Chain A
Amino acid sequence: MESYDDQQLKDLLKSPATQRKGFEAMVRQYSEQLYWQVRRIVLVHEDADDVLQNALLKAWSSLSTFKGDSKLITWLTRIAINEALDFTRRQKKRQTLSADDTTLGLANKLMADKYFDGDETEAQLQEAIASLPEVQRTVFQMRYYDEMKYSDISEVLGTSEGGLKASYHIAVKKITEFFHRHD
């Protein structure tokens, strides 16, 4: 399959005659990366699949609003992360258990999930990450797992780099404390 750079994709997306082809190429190139960013937030494969597809359809219908001043992957990541966070907020509202009960159940839920390959410590780690406030959690995952630059994270989340660094420091500290507690 042919692969395009950012500018080539933008050129394809600009013209109505090639827009669909360009969008298909963009999805093919970036969907896996987006999937894992979404999955780390929503945790369950079926939810990640729904959220990602909704995000990509939103991107399609928002093409006319994309000004081209940022990289396509940054724009797509912003849409996908927002969809994932909206999903988790709606999920929290629906849950009838208290917050503490929910996080205690999360590790067990992951251990029972056929698309989770980790051991109990990894499940508990995911529970610890999930218990972080939204911004800390998202920054931690994008910085630690995706190794994104603070400038790119800032573009995605619309937060200052200084604020992101502070959030990351706090997230790392809390997760370190989690390991100390479990050692």
Chain B
Amino acid sequence: MINEEDFLNSKMGKRNPFTVPEGYFEQLTQQVMDKIPQAVTTEMKPVRKPAKIAVMKRLRPWLYAAACICVGVFIAAIAFNNRSEVATPQPASQQIAVNEPTDYNYYSDSYIDEEADYAMIDNQEIYACLMADMYY
């Protein structure tokens, strides 16, 4: 191993065959520093920033509380509106049971007739659907 390394030394030495443009290293540092953003010094905005931060810190809990109240009022308004829609008396033909809306026994015949007319399906189509349901 040592012989091989000595052989390399004798053949190629440590000569550097690469070169650089004149003055390259002298301007390299400045080129690199120009690409680094300048830091903001403490002299620039010494007074305003701390005051702003202090005011915001004090106001923040109140702002959170106000936001929660607004959201609560909004949700309550929606819930109230939904209830009042349900409570509004409807014509008997359109009355739907509140307790079991998915239980079809509670739908009146007149309601079903109205819905069928609206969907433009006749009795034969209804029978076909019901028959299909029996087999699947």
Q: Of the listed stretches B31-39, B66-74, B104-112, name the one at the interface; the rest are far from the partner chain.
A: B31-39
Instruction: Scan residues 91-146 of chain A and give those whose CB is less than 8 A from a CB of chain B.
Output: 115-118, 122-123, 125-126, 144-145
Could you say which residues of chain A place their CB within 8 Å of the CB of B19? Answer: 45, 115-117
Complex: how many Å from CA A137 to CA B50?
A: 55
Q: Of the listed stretches A4-12, A24-32, A71-79, A151-159, name the one at the interface; the rest are far from the partner chain.
A: A24-32
B17 touches A116 (CB 8 A): yes
B16 at the interface (CB under 8 A from A): yes
**A57 to nearest B CB, angstroms?**
6
Complex: how many Å from CA A57 to CA B32?
A: 7
B18 touches A176 (CB 8 A): no
A87 at the interface (CB under 8 A from B): no
What residue in chain B is nearest A147 (Cβ atoms)?
B14
* Interface 1/0 per residue, B15-44 and A, CB below 8 Å: 111111100110011011101100100000
Given contact pairs A20-B36, A115-B20, A173 touches B4 in the complex (Cβ within 8 A): yes
A60 at the interface (CB under 8 A from B): yes
**B20 to nearest A CB, angstroms?**
6
B126 at the interface (CB under 8 A from A): no
B16 touches A179 (CB 8 A): no
11 A-B residue pairings within 8 Å (CB atoms) = A27-B29, A31-B29, A43-B18, A115-B18, A115-B21, A117-B17, A118-B15, A123-B17, A125-B12, A172-B8, A179-B8
